[in-house]
A = this chain, B = another copy of it.
Amino acid sequence: MSLKGNAIIGQSGGPTIVINSSLVGAIQAAYDVDEIQRFYGAIHGMDGLLNEQLCDLFREDPDIVEAMRYVPSAGLGTSRIKPHDKDLERAMEVFKAHNVRYFFYIGGDDSQLACHKVSELAKTSDWEMHVVGIPKTIDNNLVVTDCSPGFGSAARYAATCCQYVGRDAEAFGTLEVVEIMGRNEGWLTGAASAARPAPDAPPHLVYLPEVKVTREQLISDVKEKYDEHGYCVIAVSEGFAFEGEDRVTTSEQVDEFGHCRLGGVAQWLSDVIEEGVGVRSRHDKLGNLQRCFAATASQVDLDQAYAVGQNAVHWAVEGQTDIMVTIERENDDPYQWECGATSLTTVAGASKAVPREWINEAGNDVTEEFVTYCKPLMTGRACELDTGFTSFPRFRKQQVGCELCTYEREK
């Protein structure tokens, strides 16, 4: 028997270039679905859910909804809240107060864990609802799924930057360190190498957090490549550390998920190699632009992000729950994929490192297997920037009336 009621969707964690594509995929799928009577957006993710800051997505202009598909960053706003037990109980109150029978949450492994907890609580609360996680992370570290929407576009930007900044370093004959996101996993850093258009193209060295090297080895690597090319570009993950040494961090602060703020590796490593090699070194930290520079979006990534959003809605109304939508790879070349599903327990709080065998023995580059895996995810699209600057569209976010008392969250 079909479950009728309202739905809530939220965006969580670090935004990506394509997270709005997933949102739009879900909204447009829900247009034609009788089971979903009202479709609410949680403003600033979990924060909005707990505080009843909900907007009516069916009242958004359909043209704006369609346009939002290509707008980077989280159009509903996002948050990094890691819900504790009281938060989950509050979430259930909100679901009941607004007759919410469907919950969709777009995020990474921490967000899928939150999603799973909601699903579990719903079961014990005698409130029938279907909960579906939608994958998203530029870090590409979600398990089970072949890749995570958001990764391909960030990878394309990182690779593009390495090509360009390599030309700049070549003109001076300097060393250049490029710092790339990805936390504990080196997918994004490796991607910068995967797109190398020629064997001598930058980056010449790529250090992923999965394999540690010594100071001596890295300096020796850089010397060798500098002698060979007359310049050298080194791509390094923000989570990089030398063998036997701690990671570099810019701050003692941690976010609500308990993660420290990484970053600052490029500047530090640049100083290390300038001294060690005796050649001037510069550095660039790709920073937040990796997850929002839409001009270099990947078309495959945009398509996959949209598809996981659409399928989340379709499968939820068909009765599936406690699942995350996945991407399944059918073929490498030509690249073929389709959506699948996995139980939330398989992905919640888990993360996938780059396999050791996809990194070369010296630990300073990725292998052909990595390239075969990664390259199709970075396929280009026509740039939207050719006619000058136009204003990004925005949701109106017309808010729904609150039914509950104010929520004072315990930190």
A residues lining the B interface (CB < 8 Å):
11, 15, 44, 71-75, 77-79, 159-161, 163-165, 167-173, 176, 195-198, 201, 250, 267, 282-285, 287-289, 291-296, 378-383, 385-392
Q: How many copies does the complex hold?
A: 2
Which chain B residues lie closer than 8 Å to A164 at the CB level?
A: 72-73, 289, 292-294
Given contact pairs A77-B171, A284-B289, A378-B389, a sample of 14 additional A-B residue pairs in the complex whose CB atoms are under 8 Å apart: A15-B172, A73-B164, A78-B172, A160-B385, A160-B389, A161-B293, A165-B288, A168-B292, A197-B392, A250-B267, A282-B288, A284-B285, A296-B385, A383-B385
What 8 pairs between A and B have smallest CB-CB spacing? Answer: A383-B383, A73-B167, A197-B391, A74-B171, A284-B287, A164-B292, A198-B391, A168-B292
- Whether A44 contacts B291 in the complex (CB less than 8 A), given A72-B168, A383-B385, comes out as no
CA distance A235 to B11 in the complex (A): 27
Contact B389 A386 (CB under 8 A): no
Nearest neighbor of A172 in chain B, beta-carbon distance: B78
Which chain B residues lie closer than 8 Å to A15 at the CB level?
A: 167-168, 171-172
Which chain B residues lie closer than 8 Å to A171 at the CB level?
A: 11, 15, 73-75, 77-78
What are 16 A-B pairs at a CB distance below 8 A? A15-B167, A15-B168, A72-B167, A73-B168, A77-B171, A77-B172, A77-B173, A160-B389, A163-B389, A164-B292, A167-B392, A250-B267, A284-B289, A285-B287, A295-B385, A382-B386
Contact B292 A295 (CB under 8 A): no
Which chain B residues lie closer than 8 Å to A267 at the CB level?
A: 250
Which chain B residues lie closer than 8 Å to A160 at the CB level?
A: 293, 295, 385, 389
Q: How far is the CB of A302 from chain B (nearest CB, A)?
A: 13
